[in-house]
Amino acid sequence: MEDRNNQAAEPLRIAFVGSECYPFVKTGGLGDVMYALPRALIKQNCDVRVLLPKYSCIPQKYRDQMVYRGSFMMDLCMDGKTFFVGIMELVMDGVTYDFIENEEFFSWGNPYTDLVADIPKYCYFSKAALAVLNYLEWTPNVVHCHDWQAALVPIYLRTHFANTPVGKAKSMLTIHNLRFQGIYGIPHIKYWTGIPGYVFDYPFMKQGKDDANMMKGGLAFANCITTVSQTYAGEIQTEFYGEGLDPHLRYHSVRMRGIVNGIDVELWNSRTDALLAAKYDENDVLEKKKANKLALQEKVGLEQDENKMVIGLISRLTNQKGLDLVNAAFAEMIDENTQVVVLGTGDVYYEDSFRYYESIHKGSVCAYISYNEALAHLIYAGADALLVPSLFEPCGLTQLIAMRYGTIPIVRETGGLKDTVQPYNKYTNEGNGFTFEDYDAGVFLNTVRSAKEVYFEDRESWDEMVKRDMAVDVSWEKSAKDYRDLYLQLSK
């Protein structure tokens, strides 16, 4: 029997298929996972290839490092139309990245444009990824697919590729955000995939009267379904969070697991972070966070005072992130001892709201409506607390980064936020953040007030929580082991 700790054992071969991956292209958390999880799996005796589109927006410095591995023509559409498939390869930190080249689909710049154009692009990509693995004669134990853009892969594995070498692989489909599913008219998707007609009926891809749902089909055909936290795995089986797929997910729940994401603890490391005013660890965090707070206040135009409580918000400015709660409670959050700094872009309504609050609370509020990597690092280090009051949050990374930097998260109990932040208990002095359950502005405000009460009136307990948070393991190591265990189960 193979022991997961036996590094002499034959490495598991895992192929990752997804639409984005840091540092080549990233629009959200999917890009972070596609980067960090393969690197962590290498240390768990896995041989990992990551298959990505070769978008024109990939920085030139990475394009210059790619090596040509071959090319071929591939049939795709119902009428037999064929397309060029080029393979450009780059090896970095032990992970092999194979970029699929096709000017017709990937020369537009940004990875996502509109659904009508994106569906043919990702139909092509899903089939080409498997064809590339056959061309390279590299048969994985498991093909690990991510979100709707790769959701056709499990279907192709069991249909077009069933009698080819890659057809021996098992498939895993990870849901990062169920809101996006790849839904369009059946004739459009049927033409661009060439997949057998029965797949476009119930209980597979068909949705409603005339639509096909790529995510739904992938979930039906995948050998294993995962999502990015245990709580989110349960939530998406309910009508409120299920985005119309809750009955389908309940039916397939026996194959579903939730594994929480980690973060890159080398990138997010307060001991070595060159973007901070003062580097620190758990031994000198209390003093050095003051230096970072003063630097943050100076940088964003807040009154410099190390005794004020600074509350950070780093987020896409959308409804999903619970910003209607923040908006409703904002006026009562601010007082002579509290400052707020907001970093992000999104809906114009929220951008303008935070700009307004800055205009009437000069010196106490900063609305930085942009994205600035250096400022994000300084907020994590210089703020005392970080708001993550999301309506739903499959996993969430900001609360993990905040804890890593000794900044106390204030979160709603949903998805990965619930799985990673334990509520503070003043009677036992346990917990690593402040949480609330009901999606209500008053409940949110009371939670912020509870945090402020501990900060100003029981500073010793607050400081102990800061050190506890910095000691929490938020790396990918445990999650990578959990994924490897799943891969082993599938491959056996």
pLDDT tens digits, 245-295: 999 999 999 999 999 999 989 989 999 999 999 999 999 999 999 999 999
Same fold, 12-262+477-491 and 285-471: yes
Whether the pLDDT of residue 5 is over 90: the answer is no
pLDDT of residue 57 exceeding 80? yes
Q: Which fold has domain 12-262+477-491?
A: Rossmann fold (3.40.50)
All structural domains of the chain with their residue ranges: 12-262+477-491, 285-471
Instruction: Give pLDDT tens digits for 9-44.
Output: 889 999 999 999 999 998 888 998 999 999 999 999
144-169 average pLDDT score: 98
- H/E element holding 255? none
CATH of domain 285-471: 3.40.50.2000
108 pLDDT more than 90? no
All residues at 6 or more sequence positions from 484 whose CB lies less than 8 Å from its CB, including other chains: 4, 12, 41, 44, 45, 46
pLDDT band per the 50, 70, 90 thresholds, residue 7: very low
- The tokens for 79 are 């009428």
What is the spatial distance between Cα 22 and Cα 220, in angstroms, rounded to a whole number?
29
At CA 295, angle to CA 293 and CA 301, rounded to 5?
A: 95
- C-alpha 244/C-alpha 240 separation (Å) is 9
Helix (H, G, I), strand (E, B) or coil at 17: strand
d(CA 421, CA 415): 11
Q: What is the pLDDT of residue 2?
A: 45
Short-list 124, 77, 412, 436, CA closest to 241: 412
Tell me the pTM.
Answer: 0.91
pLDDT tens digits, residue range 286-338? 999 999 999 999 999 999 999 999 999 999 999 999 999 999 999 999 999 99
pLDDT, averaged across the chain: 95
pLDDT in the model for residue 1 = 42
Token readout for 341 is 């700094």
b/e map 182-201, b = 16+ CB within 10 Å: bbbebebbbbbbbbeeebbe
Residue 196 banded pLDDT, cuts 50, 70, 90? very high
H-helix or E-strand spanning residue 122: helix 115-135
Residues 221, 204: contact at Cβ < 8 Å?
yes
Whether pLDDT at 3 is above 70: no
Angle at CA of residue 236, ends 177 and 115, nearest 5°: 35
In order of 54, 256, 279, the CA distances from 471 in angstroms are 39, 30, 16
Whether the Cβ atoms of residue 134 and residue 166 lie closer than 8 Å to each other? yes
Q: How far apart are the first and last CA of the chain?
A: 10
> 382, 292 in Cβ contact below 8 A?
yes
Tell me the average pLDDT across 81-90.
Answer: 98
What single-letter DSSP state applies at residue 346?
B
150: its two tokens: 């790769």
Provide the 10 A C-beta neighbour count for residue 283. Answer: 11
Residue 8 has what pLDDT? Answer: 55
Asked whether 207 and 189 are in contact (CB, 8 A), the reply is no
pLDDT at 110: 82
Q: What is the pLDDT of residues 443-486, one digit of tens each?
A: 999 999 999 999 999 999 999 999 999 999 999 999 999 999 99
Buried b (16+ CB within 10 A) or exposed e, 386-406: bbbbbbbbbbbbbbbbbbbbb
The tokens describing 363, both together, are 């010196």
- Cβ-Cβ contacts under 8 Å for 459 (sequence gap 6 or more): none
Count the neighbouring beta carbons within 10 Å of the beta carbon of residue 369.
17
